Amino acid sequence: MLTGPRGTGKTTYLLKRSAQDNLLYFSADNPLISSLSLYSLVEAAFMDGYKGVMIDEIHYAKDWSRHVKSIYDSFPDNIIWISDSSTIVLRKGVADLSRRFISRRLPLLSLREYSILRGEDNKLPVLDPFALNKTDVNHILKNTPVLKLHREWLDHGFRPIFLEDPAAYSEKLLSVIEKTIAMDIPYLVPQLTQGHLRFMTGVIGHLAKSNIPTLAVNSLCNEWGIGKEKLYNLLDAMENAQLIRVVRKKNDHSLQSIGAKIFLHDPSAYAAIQGDTGCVREAATVAAFQEAGRNILAAHDEREYDFVIDGKLTVEVGGKSKKAKKAAFVIRDHTDIPTGNVIPLWVLGFMY
């Protein structure tokens, strides 16, 4: 089960893998497929000699979870890949499929991966920002223009669509966001109206242009004419569709919560929307840790530090002269060499 945000390369990977291994690839959003029984189509492929299938955009298939479970049980010797954008697959069918399928997520590109795709040293090391290896850091600084690459990455480097045409990256990213709202969210929230879709577009625009990473719930309800329960449902769907990242404080498990801070899921979206860059450093920090599988929480008191990593490591995030306050580490932008408890922001891009 392969998931991940739109535009991260899932389809490209599946197509390449299918050609290598004699697997039949098809996308369930193809109009020719939508009128057919998923089970019957896959059965015919196996009878025709294919040893496996790769079904992309699985949530478009009618009763997909039931059909996939039947396919799995009926053809134990065949290979089955299913793929979808965001976490829709997990939300809609994991109860039936979790014991049958291994789940893998394709993350946004790290700075390390972006650099390699740009043609830099393909042996760039992975870094732990809290236990840096001096030799590895020196290798990166010596062999790459890391600060230049870091600025590019923040602007247009989180999805491999930059390889097609860097100048068109923003346009393509905005198209990804629009498609996610229009085509993915309706599978998570029932009884959506055009007003709800416009509301979510408005939330994206507000977060991009505000230097304060949060939302005023009462104002939004009044402005858009929606109830609080619906608003929380829409924000939850946006988080699960990987449009936004909600950073919560410890023990904040309430369903009716907007967390402590809200960022756009893809930090390069700030540049694409021509928004305020004031939140980009923190957005990039949150994205880097989450994409690397690390836990990040907001501080209970921002006067002391910004975030807590893995429940114990406190960090403050800022520019070149940012002070640590009461944090164990300070993450600084526009800084190349780590010293003491100072971690350059670019280092977070090398965690995977």
pLDDT-derived band at 136 (thresholds 50, 70, 90) equals: very high
**Sheet strand arrangement including 104-105:** 23-27, 52-56, 79-85, 2-4, 104-105
Query: What's the mean per-residue pLDDT of the chain?
Result: 93
- What does the pLDDT look like over 120-129, one tens digit per residue? 988 999 999 9
**Is it the case that residue 29 has pLDDT exceeding 70?**
yes
**Is it the case that residue 87 has pLDDT exceeding 70?**
no
Terminal-to-terminal C-alpha distance of the chain: 21
Domains and CATH numbers, the chain: 2-105 (3.40.50.300), 134-350 (no CATH)
**pTM here?**
0.91
pLDDT-derived band at 89 (thresholds 50, 70, 90) equals: low
**Structure-block tokens of residue 52:** 């496996």
**Is it the case that residue 79 has pLDDT exceeding 90?**
yes
**Is it the case that residue 143 has pLDDT exceeding 80?**
yes
**Is it the case that residue 98 has pLDDT exceeding 90?**
no
Beta-carbon contacts of 34 under 8 Å, excluding residues fewer than 6 positions away, are: 28, 60, 61, 62
**Is it the case that residue 168 has pLDDT exceeding 90?**
yes
Measured distance CA(86)–CA(105) in Å, rounded: 9
The closest alpha carbon to 107, from 9, 254, 243, belongs to: 9
Inter-axis angle of helices 228-240 and 217-224, nearest 10 = 100
Helix or strand run (H / E) with residue 104: strand 104-105
- What does the pLDDT look like over 311-321, one tens digit per residue? 999 999 999 99
Task: Quote the pLDDT of residue 343.
Answer: 98
Inter-axis angle of helices 38-47 and 64-74, nearest 10 = 30
By the 10 Å C-beta count (0-12 exposed, 13-18 middle, 19+ buried), 174 is classed as middle
Task: Quote the pLDDT of residue 92.
Answer: 64
**Structure-block tokens of residue 282:** 């923190």
Task: Quote the pLDDT of residue 189.
Answer: 87
- What does the pLDDT look like over 220-274, one tens digit per residue? 999 999 999 999 999 999 998 999 999 999 988 887 889 999 999 999 999 999 9
Beta-carbon contacts of 320 under 8 Å, excluding residues fewer than 6 positions away, are: 332, 333, 334, 335
pLDDT-derived band at 95 (thresholds 50, 70, 90) equals: low
**Is it the case that residue 166 has pLDDT exceeding 90?**
no
Q: What is the mean pLDDT of residues 48-59?
A: 94
**Structure-block tokens of residue 24:** 């039949």
**Is it the case that residue 93 has pLDDT exceeding 80?**
no
pLDDT-derived band at 8 (thresholds 50, 70, 90) equals: very high
Task: Quote the pLDDT of residue 253.
Answer: 80
**Structure-block tokens of residue 108:** 């946004």
- What does the pLDDT look like over 288-327, one tens digit per residue? 999 999 999 999 999 999 999 999 999 999 999 999 999 9
What percent of the chain shows pLDDT beyond 90? 80
